[in-house]
Amino acid sequence: MTRITRLLIANRGEIARRVMRTCREMGIGTVAVYADPDADAPFVREADLAVALRGSSSAETYLSVEKLIEAAKRTGCDAIHPGYGFLSENAAFARMVTDAGLVWVGPKPDAIAAMGDKLEAKKRMVAAGVPTLPSIEVAGSYDEQLGKRAAEIGYPLLVKASGGGGGKGMRIVPGQPELAEAIAAAQREAASAFGNDTVFLERYLEAARHVEVQIFGDHHGNVVHCFERECSIQRRHQKIVEEAPSSAVDPDLRARMGAAAVAAGQAIGYDNAGTVEFMLAGDGKFYFLEVNTRLQVEHPVTEAITGLDLVREQIRVAEGKPLSFSQDALRIDGHAIEARLYAEDPVQDFLPATGRLVRFEPDPTAQVRVDSGVESGSDVSIHFDPMLAKVIAHAPTRTEAALKLASALERMRIHGVTTNRDFLVNVLRSDPFLDGDTTTHFIEVHRPPRTRAVTAEALRAALVATALVGQARNRASAKSLRGIPSGWRNNPSQMQELRFRHDGQEVPVRYLRQRDGRFAFEVGEHRGSARLLTLEGDRASVEIDGVREVVTVVRAGRDAWVQGALGEVHLVEIPRFPEAEIEAVAGGHNAPMPGKILAVHVKAGDRVARGQLVIVLEAMKMEHRILAAADGVVREIRAHVGGQVEAGQLLLVIEGEEEGEAAS
C-alpha cells in the first residue's frame, strides 16, 4: 500500500490552501508552485516548500506539465494533487504523473479520458441507463452542415467546452445567426483556460435546475454517492451560490439520481472524488450533463451536511485504502449554502475587477467557514480567476443557513476592490430564493438588486463616524498641544467641514466639538449630536443621536470604508482644492479593465450600429465583448490584436450620426 509523505499541489489560491489544511492534519508535507503574480500569495507562504514556475500566464505556469513534474521531483514529493481547474481533468497529465513514479490524487487516467471526451461520455451513460440530452461535436469552425445539424437539435443551444468547466468556453445560442460567433468565442476561451479548444453543441434546457451528485470510488470496487448539491444560481454560466441538499429533491428523486450517479461511476470504474452533473427539468425529469473527474469548488457544502473531509478521502483512496464510509452510513445533517465571493462588478454585468485588497477580514464572531485565497494586502491581478473566497454556512434549516450566510457576508471587511458581496446578500435574502425558486434563470427572472441600497441614516452615520475617527486620529498624532481638543472653536459657528463623494453624489459633513466632549454635526438638513466612545485601531464605538454602533473605519488615501453590522459604505474624500481631470473623448470606448486585445472587428471609416461587437478583450481567462455604444462611424482605432491595455485606456472612437452631420 502506498504511503504519501509529501504532496505537491498543482494549483493556486484557495484550493491550494484547502488541500494544505487537510495535509497538515494528516501529517503530510506540502509543496506549492507559483506563477510570478502569485509570489506573495498566502498559499505560497503557508506551504512547507514553494517552487517558482517562472512566468505570468497559465500556459507558462499552472498548465506547464513539465515544470510541475520537475518541481515535484526536485522537492522529493510522493504525489501530486491537481485541485480543480487547470490540469485537474487532463488525462495526459495524470499519466505523466504516474509514469514519473508519483501518485496521482484523483481518478485513474482512463476514467478522466473517458469523461473528458464529453460526447463519448454521453454514449457510455446511455449504455449505463442514464438519461442524456442530444449533442453534436464541433470539428473545426462553423459550416453549413453544422448549421443544419444544430437546427435538428433545436434552439436554444449551448456551446460547451469539452475539456473544462467553471463556465469558461460556454455560450447560449438563441438562434442560427449567433451560432458561428458563439462557437469561435467558446473555442478561444476554452483554449486559453484549458489548453483544449474542443467544443460541442447541446440542447439548452430553459427554466431548469442544475443539480449534481457527489460520488466517491476506491480501488476496491466501491462506488457511493454523498447526496446532491444544487448549483442553479449562476451568472455567465458560472455558479455563485451552491447548496446541499437541493430544495427541489425529495427522498424518492434523491434515491433515483443517486443510483444514476453511482451507475455512471461504475460504468467507468471510478476510483476517487467525482461529480455527476444533471439538469433537472420542471417536470422532475433529469438529464446527464457530464462527470467532473475532480474535486468541485462547491465540495464544502457536502462536507458540511455529511461530516466528511473529501480531501482526506481523496488522499486515502490514492494510497490504496478503501473508503472510510459506506452508503448506508451517510446521513444528511441540516442544510449548507456556499457563496462564491468574486472581485467583480455586478452593475457592469459582473465584469471582473482588479486592484489591491486594503482589507480582507471575515467577522470573527460569524460561525461560518471561509475558504479564501487572499488576505489584506493581496493584489487581484488580471492573470487568473477573480474568486477571492468561498463562504459556507451550515444550519439546521435552509432558511437559517441562507440568513446566517447573508449576515456573515455583510459583516466581512472587504475594502479596496469591487466585489459581488452585496449582490450575494440580496440573492440570499430574496423571497424567491428563500422559497426555493432557484432555476438557472434566477438572476434574469427575479433580478435581485446588484448593489446595496444605502439608507440616508446609514450614510449619515458613516459620514459622522468617519469625521469623528479622523478628528481623534489627528489629535492623537499631533506633536504639540495635544490637550487642546481638535476642531474646538470659541465661535460655535466655525464648524469643521469634510466633503465626500458617495455613489456619484457630493455629501458634506460639518461638525464641531462641544465642551462636554460631544460633537454637534450637520449632514444635509439634519442636525444632531454624536460622540466617539472608544477607538481601538480601526474599530470605533460611536453614539449618533442616541444610537450606539460599533463600526470599523479604514482609510487609504482619499478612500474611506465604514463597515457596520449592515454592510459597508464607501466614501471618497473630495480634496479642498480642485485637481485636474482627464478630458473625456466624445465617442470614446475605453478598456473596462486591464487585458489583452484578442480581436478588432472594425476599421477606421466603418459604419457601425449600436450594440455591434467591435473589440474582444481577454482578462482573467474570460473574454469580454466591447460593443458600440451608439450608431456612427469609426473615426480612430488605438487598439491592435495582441496588445496589452490598461483599465480606462482609449481603444477606439465612434463618431455619432449627429456629430458627423454637424461636422460636415
What ranges in 79-237 are assigned the alpha helix state H? Answer: 91-99, 109-116, 118-127, 144-153, 179-194
425 lies in the same domain as 344? yes
Q: What is the pLDDT of residue 621?
A: 62
Mean pLDDT of 10-39: 98
Per-residue pLDDT, averaged over 646-655, amounts to 86
Residues 449 and 338 placed together within one structural domain of the fold: yes
pLDDT tier for residue 611 given thresholds of 50, 70 and 90: confident
Tell me the per-residue pLDDT of 221-257, one tens digit each, with 9 for 90 and over. 999 999 999 999 999 889 999 999 999 999 999 999 9
Give the CATH number, domain containing residue 620: 2.40.50.100
At 169 the pLDDT is: 80
Do residue 568 and residue 594 come from a single domain? Answer: no
Asked whether residue 488 carries a pLDDT value surpassing 50, the answer given is no
Domains held by the chain: number: 5
Which residue, 436, 453, 470, sits at the end of a domain?
Answer: 453
In the predicted structure, residue 189 carries a pLDDT above the cut 90: no
Q: Where are the alpha helices (DSSP H) in 154-222?
A: 179-194
Look at residue 368 and tell me if it is in a domain.
yes
Model confidence at 580, pLDDT cuts 50, 70, 90, reads: very low
Residues spanned by the domain of 175? 134-203
Residue 581 in this model has a pLDDT that exceeds 90: no
- Asked if the structure places residue 38 within a domain, the reply is yes
Instruction: Supply angle C-alpha 650, 655, 656, rounded to 5.
Output: 125
Most confident of 202-206, 580-584, 645-649: 202-206
The CATH number of whichever domain residue 564 belongs to comes to: 3.30.700.30
Q: Are residues 138 and 78 in the same domain?
A: no
pLDDT in tens, 77-114: 999 999 999 999 999 999 999 999 999 999 999 999 98
Starting at the edge strand that comes first in sequence, how are the strands of the sheet with 157-161 ordered? 135-138, 199-203, 157-161, 170-173
Query: Cell 422559497 sits at which residue?
Result: 435
| 553 and 464 both lie in a single domain | yes
Least confident window among 84-88, 348-352, 388-392: 348-352
Lowest-pLDDT choice from 17-21, 134-138, 432-436, 443-447? 134-138
pTM of the model: 0.84
pLDDT class for 490, splitting at 50, 70, 90?
Answer: very low
Return all residues near 654 (Cβ < 8 A) that are at least 6 apart.
Answer: 587, 589, 608, 614, 628, 629, 630, 632, 633, 634, 635
Whether 229 is covered by a domain: the verdict is no
Residue 295 lies in a domain: no
Mean pLDDT for the stretch of residues 35-61: 96
Tell me the C-alpha distance between 250 and 60, whole Å. Answer: 47
Which of the listed residues 573, 599, 622 is the one where a domain comes to its end?
A: 573
* DSSP states of 13-40: HHHHHHHHHHHHHHT-EEEEEE-GGGTT
pLDDT-derived band of residue 165, with 50, 70 and 90 as boundaries?
Answer: low
Q: Check pLDDT > 70 for residue 480.
A: no
Taking the alpha carbons at both ends of the chain, their separation in whole angstroms is 83
The mean of the pLDDT values for the chain is 91
**Would you place residue 123 in the very low, low, confident or very high pLDDT band (cuts 50, 70, 90)?**
confident
| Single residue among 155, 170, 203 that ends a domain in this structure | 203
pLDDT for the residue 260: 96
| Per-residue model confidence (pLDDT) at position 491 | 47
- CATH number of the structural domain spanning residue 182: 3.30.1490.20
Is 348 strand, coil or helix? Answer: helix
Q: What is the pLDDT of residue 192?
A: 77
The CATH number of the domain holding residue 68 is 3.40.50.20
Q: Which residues contact 153 (CB under 8 A, 6 or more apart)?
A: 134, 135, 136, 201, 202, 203
Q: pLDDT value at position 577?
A: 66
Question: Is the domain of 372 the same as that of 475?
Answer: no
Identify the pLDDT of residue 542. Answer: 97
Q: Is residue 202 very low, low, confident or very high in pLDDT (cuts 50, 70, 90)?
A: confident
- Asked, for residue 654, whether it belongs to a domain, the answer is yes
**Is the model's pLDDT at 485 over the cut of 70?**
no
CATH code assigned at 418: 3.30.470.20
pLDDT confidence of residue 476? 83
